Chain A
Amino acid sequence: DAGVIQSPRHEVTEMGQEVTLRCKPISGHNSLFWYRQTMMRGLELLIYFNNNVPIDDSGMPEDRFSAKMPNASFSTLKIQPSEPRDSAVYFCASSFGGRGETQYFGPGTRLLVL
């Protein structure tokens, strides 16, 4: 299996622009997680889906962030409008779901908002 695939790997944009991050989970996994990594807070869970349904979005910073999972093999995280404080590495992870199941992470998208 190719593992979790994320695109783009790097994104540089200007403040105010829309940013869309993409994720393809491992085939057969039914849970998908979006994380943001910063030096201060480490890995923060933004939102997670189970069977394509958002279960917990309490970690989404504000209304500028939105996430969708239209089908079992694709998810997007959108930031509109982007701000410099959104600069971070964004990870997508997937698992078979349920407690104790290992989460498999993608390589991440490094976002820089100027």
Chain B
Amino acid sequence: DQQVKQNSPSLSVQEGRISILNCDYTNSMFDYFLWYKKYPAEGPTFLISISSIKDKNEDGRFTVFLNKSAKHLSLHIVPSQPGDSAVYFCAASGSGNTGKLIFGQGTTLQVKP
């Protein structure tokens, strides 16, 4: 059973528009959330994170929103660029100092020029 779910396998947007990637989780003990980006033939790289004490975290063109009551988070990319085309993974961790992450299935984003 997937504790972290990304229900959209793929997303296509036009360059310059907003990309919104969604992620749902089931475990209410999760309190730290991350997004990783993955290009073909490379390993995932860290993009942005958010703690459960916040509902928004922004870093340049990337903003993550967290809705704890809905157990939902989203990643907004504005404006989208062709170089943003990649697979995006949502991940979550719970209490304890283990560093263990639970990842979703990933969403493939294509930004068209």
Q: A residues within 8 Å of B by Cβ?
A: 4, 31, 33, 35, 39-45, 48, 50, 55-56, 91, 93, 95, 97-108
Beta-carbon contact of A99 and B103 below 8 Å? no
- Choose among A41, A99, A105, A106 the residue that contacts B97 (Cβ–Cβ < 8 A): A99
Which of B43, B49, B97 has most A Cβ within 10 Å? B43
Give every chain A residue within 8 A of B2 (Cβ-Cβ): 41
Secondary structure at the B interface, as helix, strand, loop or mixed, is: loop
Q: B residues within 8 Å of A by Cβ?
A: 2, 6, 32, 36, 41-46, 49, 51, 89, 91, 93, 95-106
A41 and B99 in contact, given A103-B46, A107-B42 (Cβ under 8 angstroms)? no
Give every chain A residue within 8 A of B93 (Cβ-Cβ): 99-100
Beta-carbon contact of A105 and B32 below 8 Å? no
Beta-carbon contact of A91 and B44 below 8 Å? yes
Provide the bound-state CA to CA distance between A100 and B43, in Å.
Answer: 19
Measured CB to CB, the nearest residue on chain B to A56 is: B100
Provide 23 A-B residue pairs closer than 8 Å at the C-beta atoms, listed in order of the A residue.
Answer: A39-B105, A42-B6, A42-B104, A43-B89, A44-B103, A48-B99, A50-B98, A50-B99, A55-B100, A97-B99, A98-B97, A100-B32, A100-B99, A101-B99, A103-B99, A104-B43, A104-B45, A105-B36, A105-B44, A107-B41, A107-B43, A108-B41, A108-B42
Give every chain A residue within 8 A of B98 (Cβ-Cβ): 48, 50, 55-56, 98-99
